Amino acid sequence: MNRLICAVMATAVCAAVSAGANREFTITSCRFAPELQNDQGVNDLVECGIDSVSGRRIDMKRLDVFSRHGVGVTVCPPAECYWWGGRKGVSGKMAQLYPVAKIAKWLDTVPDHPAIIAIDVGDEPSALDFAHHASIVSYVQNRFPEKKVSVNLYPHYADAATRTRSEVDSQLGTTTYEEYLHRYCAQYPLDYISFDSYCWGWNNAPATLFEDLRAVGNACAGTGRDMVAVLQANRFSERGNVGVELTANMYRFQAFCALAFGARSICWACWTEGFWKADCIVRTDGTRTVQFDRLKAANREIHRLGDALAPYRRTSTDFVDFDAMSRDGLKGVRQLPVAVSHGAAFADVKALDASPLLVGHFVSAKGDGSQAMVLVSCDDPHDKGGRAHTIAFRAVDGVPHVIASREGGISLEQGDDGRHKLPLRSNEAAVVVMERKE
């Protein structure tokens, strides 16, 4: 499986990098071509709602440009000293092929610049290499204690070990994805899990993303880590496959679903041409493609909802009225659908027309007991037209308020039956918080 060499960071950044990169919730992108590392190119990032970028070809001499526009940078080693686990025959050989001394020499060239918020040390390692890779992470953390260290993991659809495929010959280096995540959490001194999952790549489907979000979301919740979700921004074009052109709603669908599972950062892969050449956001000559305005529109809403959820931490997520056997539903997802969703503050949550609804329940990270809920309408992931829905729920204890939704806001009304109702169109999302009664 070919992979994008991309990594992203959520949360803390250098104080010298302004508003965008200092958000608790961030939107990032990868593959930022040198030709665009100027005022106009970086300003395009800001206009599109991108807080930081990553890539092997970041020009260290142009870091001031990023600082000037408040955009953070994750720097990556050159190809000869960058670890990508997707190369055939390298699993279990990281200590031999990628000794600490190799990256140490490159680190000598990394300036102490406020634009640099993170240092990328590898993409999609095998679990067989976790121990050595974790020692590299610790080394970089000691060298640059003020910077984040970036590691990106495989999605669940990477090759696992089987009776006919050894751990060395597999990509994960384990027999299950849960074991892969468990080993990562046990060995890496990192407070997040970053993974990539592409809805419309290869033979994937929305259910592919759901299973990744379920597995990683549960691992994050169980270990107190943040989720970083690397999602698809470009048309899949590989081996003669022309792929699907992504719309603003398809961007919304991916990101809102990730938010419902607790994502603290979204990375769009890719900004300029990666190995998927079609439908990049901006071409290397500086020309914006049609995807720019689509991603810009989606990012405005994603930021609004992500910022609203930032003070909360996910407790559970339900698939309400999903088709368990559909690839647009839960086929292959190790979680059953439910007829209604129940949380500590919100009960009997569902769409009145029984359309698929993703419901994430959250609690305040401050420990004050306040609750939040994110609702995502999931009946039209491929953006074939969509329709309007009405979502209903009961407030368990308190007064609910919609604090983030579409442009112009959403009204919340209470019916004679005591249920609260709000309108939600396909691929839209809303964040509802509960104000406790005194």
- How does pLDDT run across 163-217, given as a tens digit for each residue? 888 999 999 999 999 999 999 999 999 999 999 999 999 889 999 999 999 999 9
Identify the pLDDT of residue 237: 76
Label each residue of the chain as H, E or C: CCCCCCCCCCCCCCCCCCHHHHCCCEEEEECCCHHHCCHHHHHHHHHCCCCEEEECCCCHHHHHHHHHCCCEEEECCCHHHCCECCCCCCCCCHHHHCCHHHHHHHHCCCCCCCCEEEEEEEECCCHHHHHHHHHHHHHHHHHCCCCEEEEEECCCCCCCCCCCCCCCCCCCCCCCHHHHHHHHHHHCCCCEEEEECCCCCCCCCHHHHHHHHHHHHHHHHHHCCEEEEEEECCCCCECCECCCCCCHHHHHHHHHHHHHCCEEEEEEECCCCCCCCCCCCECCCCCECHHHHHHHHHHHHHHHHHHHHCCEEEEEEEEECCCCCCCCCCCCCCCCCECCECCCCEEEEEECCCCCEEEEEEEECCCCCCEEEEEEECCCCCCCCCCEEEEEEEECCCEEEEEECCCCCCCCEECCCCCEEEEEECCCEEEEEEECCC
The CATH number of 312-435 is which of 2.60.220, 3.30.70, 1.10.760, 2.60.40? 2.60.220
Which tokens hold the place of 412? 């919340």
pLDDT surpasses 90 at 219 = yes
Average pLDDT over all residues of the chain: 92
Residue 335's pLDDT band (cuts 50, 70, 90): very high
Q: Which comes out higher in pLDDT, residue 121 or 20?
A: 121
Identify the pLDDT of residue 236: 87
Cα–Cα distance, 354 to 224 (Å, whole number): 33
CATH 3.20.20.80 domain position(s) in the chain: 19-309
* CATH hierarchy code of domain 19-309: 3.20.20.80
Environment class of 352 (CB within 10 Å of its CB; exposed 0-12, middle 13-18, buried 19+) = exposed
In residues, how long is the chain?
438
For residue 10, give the 3-state DSSP assignment. Answer: coil
- How does pLDDT run across 115-139, given as a tens digit for each residue? 999 999 999 999 999 999 999 999 9
- How does pLDDT run across 363-385, given as a tens digit for each residue? 999 988 899 999 999 999 999 99
CATH 2.60.220 domain position(s) in the chain: 312-435
Identify the pLDDT of residue 13: 28
* Selection from 264, 265, 262, 295 nearest residue 361 by Cα: 262
Q: Are 200 and 244 in contact (CB under 8 A)?
A: yes
Identify the pLDDT of residue 438: 62
pLDDT surpasses 90 at 239 = no
Residue 402, φ and ψ in degrees, nearest 5: -85, 120
pLDDT surpasses 60 at 311 = yes
Sheet holding 263-269, edge to edge: 148-152, 116-123, 72-75, 52-55, 26-30, 263-269, 226-232, 192-196
